[in-house]
Structure 1
Amino acid sequence: MFEIINNKVVMDVRERIARGEHPRGEILQYIKHAPIGTIFEIHLPFRPEPLIANIQSLGMNVIVNELEPHHVRLMTVKLDEI
């Protein structure tokens, strides 16, 4: 589910969500335990307002891009300890 390239983590959870899974908690735990400076690229089938709010509540900014129908990308960087 997570691909790590240098200090960038790519999370593509579209298939898991299509299977009815809810990986929000797993994503948030990964973000919390990642080192400072980690870049996160999260791919989802829709705009995940609760996940965006959770990430923002950790003090992180989130950039949201709709790449195509049913493909949304969130980008964020961990700048401080959480």
Structure 2
Amino acid sequence: MSRPSIPAAGRTSQRRWHWLLLAVPPVWCIAAVPLVNQVGYVFGSIPFLLVWMTLGVVVGSAAIGVIYVVDRRNGELNRF
């Protein structure tokens, strides 16, 4: 089994702006909860906070999916 190669010095400066999307789920769940907790009920008897947190799972999954697609397009994924 071979070890993954270390990128060349010039390649480490490659922009990885898309990794900032990993900050979206924690901000969604932690920073916005005090604001969202003040909203009343929606969708029958389901609290809006529950709907918000469920949508947070979808948004977090989408962010990780975008990062995967961009890394795959740039050829930055390790192949095993």
State the TM-score, normalizing by the size of structure 1.
0.30
TM-score normalised by length of structure 2: 0.31
Higher gyration radius (CA): 2
- Which structure features the higher share of helix residues? 2
Question: Which structure is higher in RCO with an 8 Å CA cutoff and minimum separation 6?
Answer: 2
